[in-house]
Structures are given as structure tokens and as C-alpha cells.
Amino acid sequence: DMQDLVKTLLSEELYFRLLREKEVDFSYNFKNKARFRVNIFFQRGEISIALRLIPAKIKTIEELNLPSVLHNFTKVPQGFVLITGPSSQGKSTTLAALIDEINNARAEHIVTIEDPIEYLFEDNKSIIDQREIYQDTLTFSRALRSTFRQDPDVIMVGEMRDPETMATAITAAETGHLVFATLHTNSASQTIHRIVNSFDPVEQNQIRAQLSGSLLGVASQRLIPRIKGGLIPSCEVMLATPAVSNLIRENKIHELPLVVETSANEGMISLNRSLAKLVKEGEITLESALSYSLHPNELKMLI
């Protein structure tokens, strides 16, 4: 039965890739009624399938209960925005909300590079080209390099998996594009560390300099179980103020959490403050907040 189901879900090319690589990640559209992100893999010699339902409607930042400061990322003509967090914490949904906000607000050419394509955008004021790895292009880095010849205003990179993709994304942000990307990291400062440390030591100074000049901000999010059911995001937001840019350039990345903690008046939000706010509003339990906090003792003091 599983073999038959797999053959129904997969194209011939993807089926042979599954047999060759033992796992495959793709999106599946069922009669335009439901859309899934699918991973098919082998376990103990047998086939298993994980299907995740992708909502048909792209929600707004408000509908997703995300911080309103994220609106600022959609209003600028160029720069580098990173949406980070562990796996399955809503990064793609947040990115979709940001891209759709631009789509509904102004006339731009938007190119997305995804593996696989999750949310389907409908052109409104913008023209949106969605490219899927393996189906429309071979790799993230190759697709990202090609965007320079495609005249985009906004670029969305589903995932930065290697130094080449990271370097090209930063260069794109420097050369007049608004670039959105995701990374699997736990905090804003860890995100900067991850990017810089992906490069050889001789290149790190240059990357820090480029990042400090092009970064607009980092949003790191978690999905927390809600008291009344469902999930609600808790979000750390670091904005690239002159102080933040300076610390990145001077390799004082360990000082970034303190800047985020003490810059609430500039729109920054620490993860603990976000969690404390949700506890005080009765959205999540204290136990949940403490389990998701990177500094539980500080969170107790805040509450």
C-alpha cells in the first residue's frame, strides 16, 4: 500500500531519486484543495511518509501574533533580513507573511528559492517567481547567483545551507536587493556566529564587514503551546542599529544579547521579554515559558 501511495505522490524522476538517495522532500498539491509539505524516507528497510498540511491562506503578521516591528523589514528597498529558529517553528510562515505584505503594498519583482515551495503566492501589485530546488533549479547557490540576471527587487532564500549561498545572499543585499533568508539557529547572536564561522578564518573579517553594512535585522522565533489550544510564537528581534553593526564589525558578537535586552525603546525584543509578556497575558504557562527560555533564571526575575 505504501509503495502504491508513494508512486501516486511522486513523479517518475522523484521516485528514482527516492530509491537512489533513500529520502526525498517535496510539496504535493491535492486537486487544488489541499497542499502538503512531504518527506518520504526509509526506516528499517520500509517506506515512511510525513505529510504536513500547508494552510491555503497566507496570514498577516497580526494574524500570526508576531511583533509589529517586523513590518519595518518590508518597507525598506534593500538589506538582509534573517528569520531563524529551530526546525518546525514557523519560519516559512513568517517569511510568507513578509513577502505577501510586500506583494500587496508595492510593485516589485520578487524571486523566491525554496526546497520545496510551500506557500503559493498570487501576484497582486508585485510579480512573484517561485523556484523550487530540483524542479526549477539545481541548488540554492546556483539559483541565487542567477537572480542577478533576473532583475529582482526582493529575493527570498528558503534556507542557507552552505558558505557560498550565504556569501551570495549577503552580496545581493549589498548590491541593492532586499533579501530574506532562514537559518536553523537558537538566537540572534548565534545566527551571526553561525554565518561568520561558516567561512575560513581569512574570510571572516570581510564577512563581518559585509554583514555589519547590509544586515537589517534578525528575528528568532519559537512556537509555544497555548493555554487555550494551538500554538503562539515567541519572538526575539534584533535590529541592526549602529551599536549592533559596530559589535558585528569588531567581532564582539558575545555582547549582542545585552544590546537586545537593553534596547526595547528602539524596537528590539529579547526572547525572555517576549516569553514574559505571553505569560502575563495568560497565553502560555510559566512552565512552558521556562522550558523554552535560554536563560530561565532571568525570566523568573522578569516575571
SS3 241: coil
Report the alpha-carbon distance of residue 294 to residue 271 in Å, rounded.
Answer: 8
Residue 161: pLDDT band with limits 50, 70, 90: confident
For 186-203, write each residue's pLDDT tens digit.
999 999 999 999 999 999
Identify the CA nearest to 102 among candidates 70, 131, 134: 70
Whether the per-residue pLDDT at 281 is higher than 90: the answer is yes
- Give the integer Cα–Cα distance in Å for 208 and 259: 18
For residue 114, the SS3 value is strand
Reduce the DSSP state of residue 296 to 3 states and report it.
helix
Mean pLDDT computed over 135-151: 93
Q: What are phi and psi of 277, to 5 degrees?
A: -65, -45
Per the omega criterion (within 30 degrees of 0), is the bond before 116 cis?
yes
Average pLDDT, integer, range 252-259: 95
Residues contacting residue 279 through CB under 8 Å, at least 6 positions apart: 285, 286, 289, 303
| The 109-114 sheet, strands edge to edge | 127-132, 109-114, 154-157, 178-183, 79-84, 215-225, 231-239
> What's the confidence (pLDDT) of residue 32?
82
Residue range 7-58, pLDDT digits in tens: 999 999 899 999 999 999 999 988 888 899 999 999 999 999 999 999 889 9
The answer, yes or no, to whether residue 79 has pLDDT greater than 90, is yes
Question: Measured in whole angstroms, how far is the alpha carbon of residue 271 from the centre of its chain?
Answer: 17
Distances (CA, A) of 184 to 59, 76, 194, 276: 22, 25, 9, 23
pLDDT, the chain, mean: 95
Q: Please provide the DSSP assignment of 189-212 as one string.
A: HHHHHHHHHTS-HHHHHHHHHHHH
